[in-house]
Structure 1
Amino acid sequence: MNAEQTDRLNDIYNLILNPATRDWERQQLVVLKSAVENGANFKAELARLEASLRPLAVRNNLTPDLTDFYQRITGNTVATFDLTRHYAVDGPNEERAIFAGGCFWCMVEPFDTRPGIIAVISGYTGGHTKNPTYEQVVGQYTGHVEAVEIIFDQRIVKYVDLVSLFWQITDPTDDQGQMDDRGNHYRPVIFVRNAQQRQIATASKAALAASGKYKKPIVTAIEPAQKFWPAENFHQEFYKKNRQRYKRLEHTRQQYLALQHLRSKIRVRLQKFKQKF
């Protein structure tokens, strides 16, 4: 048995034990495992497995970890996202911010591409379930929301700057989701880690409400930070690994926000005009 075959079998064993693997997916994996243990040709069985998974794979309907596995067996390189920074102790000039604003696929790039950002990690937080899976969170069984944890250098970028950016890329008047992302797990939240962050976020929210930009109330929640659970590898840096799919999602989101921001500008200008007369 060569090293690649050993690695793939280890992947299969881990996926069988993975609670996030769907029953049908697990059945296909068990068939391969049993066949190989009974002397069947591994390559032939792997080809059979790939064929059985293909209909769901082409529709992006496999669970995240199985999607990574499918990409590996079909020759696509799947880099494992380095979570070292999430677990490491922050340096003297480092701080963390946690924001939820709809699907975390679209929340990473706006922060990740800013100067002073050390890492942006997709994950789940705010709920009651330990080690939540994507399937559980989107099923709204956990109380968690999809969120991003941002580790940044305070010498280059300030927390208040990140809060300001957060308002720009979310709809603060919608507490039932964001744009096309509906459900409690997509509600917008600023998770504050200390009193200073709470003061900054609260003041920023109040200033936004007083600005007159929005006709509806500002309903984004400000809540104490809870344990942040990193999401599966498939979701990390989605905008880099799945560029075309991300562009389609982001285009729809940006169209909605652009229209909302235009209405906000018109509303503010009308208010100023009325004040003059």
Structure 2
Amino acid sequence: MKLTQDEILNAIYNLILNPGTRDWERSLLLEARNALENGANFDTQLSKLEADLRPLALRNNLTPDVTDFYHHITDQTTSDTPFDFNKHSLDDPVHQDSAIFAGGCFWCMVEPFENRNGIISVLSGYTGGKVDHPTYDQVSGQYTGHVEAVEIIFDTRIIQYADLVELYWQLTDPTDASGQFQDRGNQYHPIIFVKDEQQRQIAEASKQRLADSGKYTKPIVTSIEPATAFWPAENYHQQFYQKNPERYKRIERSRRQLKAYQALQRKLRAPFQKSKRD
């Protein structure tokens, strides 16, 4: 459902003040606000704003909060469902726990975890950096030291932390320290963030088993680091696979194909690696 006029005006004011809004986006919003405050026709001005934003909206190149706003004013209701932060909380510490994993773009890290039994909530966000409340532009520009990651809340009566770690290895390339698959850059480093000594021991033991398995000929470079502040990503990024199913399928398919290609390369190289050792 489209926003009312008052809701649209309020959204425009908030986006103007939002530090995550790009300067050129802010200039368009300021132009629209000033015109409306000076008595311009609301529908005409909103149509002009939509047309000005449309070229980059069609290329998915608006900042996340402006993207949400664009979806509202164009009535793209499949893309603007807000994330339920009330669900993402440890309400039962006796039977619930949390885990944080970084493994490339968080768009592809949510669905595999979220659809497992015992998972209560999966939140996309940023962690491991030096700036409070980072924005997507700041993180993707590698200005803050954060990586894209997911925070998972799970029911320990149904699924264990060790199970999540094993699934994590299946989703990532643990030999690639420069990113993950098609996702390149420091913000895509593969990292397991551990909240306590128990998680550290489980993660390190699992990593060692993977290294000893001989599955990879290259060293396992995924790091295991202490968990720090986890900052939720903008609403546009939450449960991306549900809001943008076609785009998610294309990205996930490309990621899956690259992973399969790497597995084939390892299989073809294995006999030669063995002969060299012999």
User: Do they fold alike, i.e. is TM over 0.5?
Assistant: yes
- Of 156, 168, 173, the residue aligned with 2:175 is 173
Taking the aligned partners of 1:256 and 1:184, their CA distance within structure 2 comes to 19
Taking the aligned partners of 2:263 and 2:224, their CA distance within structure 1 comes to 22
Match of 2:230 in 1: 228
Q: 1:37 and 2:49 equivalent?
A: no
Taking the aligned partners of 2:81 and 2:216, their CA distance within structure 1 comes to 42
SS of corresponding position for 1:108: helix
Deviations 1:144-201 (A, max 9, x none): 0000000000010010000000000100000110011111100000000111000000
Match of 1:129 in 2: 131
1:263 Cα deviation (Å)? 4.8
SS of corresponding position for 2:192: strand
Match of 1:101 in 2: 103
Aligned-partner residue type, residue 27 of structure 1: S
1:91 Cα deviation (Å)? 3.4
Taking the aligned partners of 2:207 and 2:92, their CA distance within structure 1 comes to 27
Taking the aligned partners of 1:105 and 1:68, their CA distance within structure 2 comes to 16
Taking the aligned partners of 2:6 and 2:180, their CA distance within structure 1 comes to 43
Q: How does 1:63-82 map to 2 (within 5 A)?
A: 63-77=63-77, 78-82=80-84
More divergent stretch after superposition (76-85 vs 133-142): 76-85
Q: Contact 1:81–1:233 at 8 Å: present in 2 too?
A: yes
Cα distance change on mapping 1:68 and 1:219 into 2, 3 Å: same
1:41 Cα deviation (Å)? 1.3
Taking the aligned partners of 1:245 and 1:90, their CA distance within structure 2 comes to 35
For structure 1, the residue ranges without an aligned partner over 5 or more in a row are none
1:40 Cα deviation (Å)? 1.1
Taking the aligned partners of 1:81 and 1:43, their CA distance within structure 2 comes to 29
Taking the aligned partners of 2:247 and 2:85, their CA distance within structure 1 comes to 24
SS of corresponding position for 1:79: coil
1:86 Cα deviation (Å)? 3.5
Aligned-partner residue type, residue 107 of structure 2: W
- Of 209, 212, 215, the residue aligned with 1:210 is 212
Deviations 1:30-82 (A, max 9, x none): 11111111111111111110011111111111100000100100011111111
More divergent stretch after superposition (119-128 vs 80-89): 80-89
Question: What is the number of equivalent residue pairs in this alignment?
Answer: 271
Match of 1:249 in 2: 251
SS of corresponding position for 1:96: strand
Runs of 4+ in 1 over 4 A off after TM superposition: 87-90, 262-268
Match of 1:84 in 2: 86
> Could you state the TM-score of these two structures normalised by the residue count of structure 1?
0.93
Q: 1:111 and 2:117 equivalent?
A: no
Taking the aligned partners of 1:9 and 1:88, their CA distance within structure 2 comes to 36
Q: Contact 1:212–1:267 at 8 Å: present in 2 too?
A: no
1:15 Cα deviation (Å)? 0.3
Q: Contact 1:124–1:145 at 8 Å: present in 2 too?
A: yes
Q: Percent identity?
A: 63
Taking the aligned partners of 1:111 and 1:63, their CA distance within structure 2 comes to 26
SS of corresponding position for 2:143: coil
1:23 Cα deviation (Å)? 0.6
1:90 Cα deviation (Å)? 4.5
RMSD: 1.8
1:89 Cα deviation (Å)? 4.5
Match of 2:188 in 1: 186
Taking the aligned partners of 1:47 and 1:239, their CA distance within structure 2 comes to 29
SS of corresponding position for 2:100: strand
> Could you state the TM-score of these two structures normalised by the residue count of structure 2?
0.93
Deviations 1:195-232 (A, max 9, x none): 10000000000010011110100000000000100000
1:262 Cα deviation (Å)? 4.2
Taking the aligned partners of 2:158 and 2:90, their CA distance within structure 1 comes to 20
Aligned-partner residue type, residue 94 of structure 1: Q
Q: Contact 1:189–1:220 at 8 Å: present in 2 too?
A: yes
